[in-house]
Amino acid sequence: MSIKGEHLGDPLVALGDYLKNYRSEARHMLHKLQSLDRQFLLRSDLQDTFESVCAQPGCEHLRDTPLAKVVGWAQEAAIDAAWIYVALRARVARWRYIRIHFATIDPEVIPVEEFLKFKEGLVDGGDGRPAVDPRLVEVDLEPFSREFFKLHEARSIGRGVEFLNRRLSSRLFEELGKGDRRLLDFLRVHRHRDQQLMLSKDIEDVRAMRSALRMADDFLKRQNPKAGWDQVGQELRRLGFEPGWGADVSRVRDTIHLLLDILEAPSPDNLEAFLARIPMIFSVAIVSPHGWFGQSDVLGRPDTGGQVVYILDQVRALEAEMLRRNQEQGLDIEPRIVILTRLIPQADGTTANQRIERVAGTQFARILRVPFHNADGEVVPQWISRFEIWPYLERYATDAERELMAELSDRPDLIVGNYSDGNLVASLMAGDLGVTQCNIAHALEKTKYLYSDLFWRDNDPHYHFSCQFTADLIAMNQADFIITSTYQEIAGTDDTIGQYEAHSAFTLPGLYRVVHGIDPFDPKFNIVSPGADPDVYFPASERHRRLRHLLPEIEALIYGGSDGCSRGELSDRDKPLLFTMARMDRIKNIAGVVEWFGRSKALRREANLLVASGHIDPNRSLDNEEREQIERMHVLIDEYALEGELRWIEGQVDRERNGEIYRYIADKRGAFVQPAVFEAFGLTVIEAMGSGLPTFATCFGGPLEIIEDGVSGFHIDPNHGELAAEKIAAFFSRCKDDPSYWARISQGGIDRVEQRYTWKRYAERMMTLSRVYGFWRYVTDLERSETRRYLQMFYALQYRPLAAAMETT
């Protein structure tokens, strides 16, 4: 297929002509790429090579050619002796693939599978031969959604529910002409236990519904607007109404008007406003099996970080929102939220061995722990890394489903999965029970590790990505809707690939090839960002709320001497503190920031470094990666002689005190640094900002979206530590001359968190989304039974054997 025949837009067509006319420059560039002597090239390799060509005398003009444009789009390439294959991303989440033969220099457009096959041919298949297999299983979910509405504009990505309401409200009510009937049916299915809600079965058709609505409105307009259901319910029941329309006459009338308006002429806004009122979510199961799930003494342990914080805060906010909505609709129903996690008998001083635990700050929410069983049916007693849990999940799903049903005395109205394991279990349970499913990834692993797909065979003994990516594909396609914390989580930026987008096409050579895995333009994606608990992370300037009694402890923690739980003793107490806190994972790059600090005279002059992470003694760690990082920390502290300028304390498990630590450091005009190589969202970033601590955070992942550089904090590039250190040092230096600068950035961070990252807003959105997707699932074929069947097969034929193989090795 030649470029000329394709409608690809000018630059790519122009590339063909250009390469034909300027063969020597093209050859030069290709030769340079070949001489890198690597089969797989990253975007940065392609760009750096192009830059080096342009830098040669007489070659500057290349920057204005179609070649420059195409290099700008290139995300990756694969090379052998004769060909280069390039993946192009001209716009967010829009991909094209080309290949160029080194002899003819004639670019050709190729389908994605050709690109993937070529890469497979360059990978060792395990027996010394290339991994290419022309008959490899090809996973293609596109045909299932071909008929289905997709977004077109990149700027709409992550606003799925708005789009769905717009497109489907018109289709449902106008094109199909069946919408009214479906809406009526929908309003008659709602029940809570034995209580019928909204409409009684006596209303048999749309005409009867319209007439009942008008009669009810006539009746209600003569009543006291403040009168409750107990005063008007009898008459409304006679007309076919059941509870759930509102707590008083005025709200009931309002709800009736919304419905009449929809029947008259539906608009996306009134549809959403009406659905948001439907009492249909009384119980929610939140699934999060891996890690140490507890309310205290767990944070900072391996695999135990933001997800736990997120879920506990989410549950508190959701319960409050569910109570509020029930109340507004006049229903005295207790919302039930159950967090399903793993019971770990060897609990290491945590509550992970308790079957059931009440969630503090809620009235009805519970943590329900269910153990993993091995193939012989025995309970697995010890903690297991998130990379090793795959063989246990199917049995876990069956056990957890049974216990959940017993706890709720019914099936839940919504199942929310968390991370790859929770999302897979949620898929199994939601499939069994026919319940709406929501997924939250928190962090997908695929983009965290370079070539995690292509070289999966090498990684599998440690990471078992073959299981994880298979689970992810199943879960993300099975979910009714997906919540993400940021836009970039779905579709990246102009220059970087989104975490979900990275699952749209990839190959696990020798296992299967994904040609259409997930589409970022799918309307199931919704951005709903989490928050930072304002009771814990409030601004340092709110003096009356400060936890003064913690001051001596905090000072001892920061300025005390070395002991088994700390290293380093700060000799100059007048310097501001640069604080960092995270799990001691390689990706968090805590040792990285220590190295930048060690190397930067300017930064060492301006500030002390305070690190809260992991253990000081590597022998206290259960996790290989954590141990390796701890050892690196000790080497760096010795190498750069940091003892008097750095203080390293263990991971901090006390949330209230952590909030006060951020503020204590803010009092001293310090700053927070989040140096991760990649951070999916970054709760510490919004915690620090909300506490008024100016924050420097990685430009890879969520923080890029959270922080507006220079306004509400700063971005740093973890790949250029020296520049990051310079930027932080310059900030401290400027603040010395102009203290108002510190105050301005601090306030910028506080404002940003207040405006964008609150749990209240999160809970409102989540409750509305659950209703809207539940509705569309009911009235249309959003359930997509074909997709589900395909995924069941994929699960049985692909996931199960992979997980079973782990158990036998």
Interface residue list for ligand LCN (CB under 6 A): 306-307, 310, 442-443, 485, 679-683
Answer with the entry of ligand LCN, ligand UDP, none that 652 interacts with (C-beta below 5 to 8 A by kind). Answer: ligand UDP
Closest distance to ligand UDP from the beta carbon of 306 (Å): 2
Residue nearest ligand UDP, CB atom distance = 305
In the complex with ligand LCN, which residue's Cβ is closer, 246 or 614? 614
Residues 6+ apart with CB under 8 A from 473: 139, 503, 514, 517, 518, 794
Between helix 683-690 and helix 739-756 the angle, nearest 10°, is: 120
User: Which residues make up the interface to ligand UDP (CB under 6 A)?
Assistant: 299-300, 305-307, 309, 581-583, 612-613, 651-652, 655, 658, 681-684, 687
For tokens 């929501």, the residue is 438
CA distances from 277 to 159, 255, 330, 482, 625 (A): 20, 8, 11, 21, 48
Given the DSSP bridges, would you call strands 195-196 and 191-192 parallel, antiparallel or unpaired? antiparallel
Cα distances (Å, whole numbers) of residue 630 to 206, 530, 583, 589, 651: 68, 30, 11, 11, 12
Shortest Å, Cβ 211 to ligand LCN = 49
To the nearest whole angstrom, how small is the minimum distance from the Cβ of residue 386 to ligand LCN?
A: 11
25 vs 687 by CB, closer to ligand UDP: 687
Q: Which is nearer to ligand LCN, 596 or 762 (CB)?
A: 762
Shortest distance (Å) from residue 485 CB to ligand LCN = 6
Question: Which one, 307 or 488, has the nearer CB to ligand LCN?
Answer: 307
How would you class 747 by CB atoms within 10 Å of its CB: exposed for 0-12, middle for 13-18, buried for 19 or more? middle
* Shortest Å distance, C-beta 343 to ligand UDP: 22
Tell me which of ligand UDP, ligand LCN, none is bound by residue 520, counting a contact when its beta carbon lies within the kind-specific cut-off of 5 to 8 angstroms: none
Closest to ligand LCN by CB, 25 or 679: 679
List the one residue out of 440, 428, 375 whose CA is nearest residue 402. Answer: 428
Give how far Cα 727 sits from Cα of 179, 685, 720, 732, Å. Answer: 58, 17, 11, 9
Q: Which two tokens stand for residue 406?
A: 């017993």
Q: What CA dihedral angle connects 166, 172, 177 and 180, to 10 degrees? A: -100
CB neighbours of 455 closer than 8 A, spacing ≥ 6? Answer: 123
With CB cut-offs between 5 and 8 Å by kind, which of ligand LCN, ligand UDP, none does residue 580 bind?
none
In the bound state with ligand LCN, the residue whose beta carbon lies nearer, of 330 and 703, is 703
CB of 661 to ligand UDP, least distance (A): 10
Q: Whole-number minimum distance, CB 339 to ligand UDP, in Å?
A: 16
Distance CA 734, CA 741 (A): 7
Report the residue number, 165 or 307, with the smaller CB distance to ligand UDP.
307
Task: Choose the contact partner of 607 out of ligand LCN, ligand UDP, none; CB within 5 to 8 A by kind.
Answer: none
Tell me the residue number closest to ligand LCN, measured at CB: 306
Nearer to ligand LCN, 112 or 311 (CB): 311
Closest to ligand LCN by CB, 267 or 652: 652
Cβ atoms of 636 and 532 closer than 8 Å? no
581 binds, among ligand LCN, ligand UDP, none (CB under 5 to 8 A by kind): ligand UDP
Least Å from the CB of residue 656 to ligand LCN: 19
Output the smallest distance, CB 765 to ligand LCN, in A: 15
CB of 414 to ligand LCN, least distance (A): 18
Helix (H) or strand (E) holding 419, with range, is helix 419-433
Query: How far apart are the C-alpha atoms of 463 and 471, rounded to whole Å?
Result: 14
From the list ligand UDP, ligand LCN, none, which binds 582 (C-beta under 5 to 8 Å, kind-based)? ligand UDP
Cβ atoms of residues 340 and 368 within 8 Å = yes
What minimum distance in Å lies between the beta carbon of 731 and ligand LCN? 24
| Nearer to ligand LCN (CB atom), residue 145 or residue 307 | 307
Residue 651's binding partner among ligand UDP, ligand LCN, none (Cβ under 5 to 8 angstroms by kind) is: ligand UDP
CA-nearest of 404, 438, 402 to 422 is 438
- Give the sign of the dihedral formed by CA 731, CA 723, CA 572, CA 578: positive
Nearer to ligand UDP, 517 or 651 (CB): 651
Q: According to the 3-state scheme, what is the secondary structure of 719-772?
A: CCHHHHHHHHHHHHHHHHHCHHHHHHHHHHHHHHHHHHCCHHHHHHHHHHHHHH
For 10, 97, 441, the CA distances from 580, given in Å and listed in that order, are 48, 41, 24
Q: By C-beta, is 273 or 653 nearer to ligand LCN?
A: 653
Separation CA 302–CA 391 (nearest Å): 20
Q: How far is the CB of 530 from ligand UDP (least distance, A)?
A: 9
Residue 323 exposed, middle or buried by CB count within 10 Å (0-12, 13-18, 19+): middle
Tokens of 399: 């056990």
- List the single partner that 675 binds among ligand LCN, ligand UDP, none, CB under 5 to 8 Å by kind: none
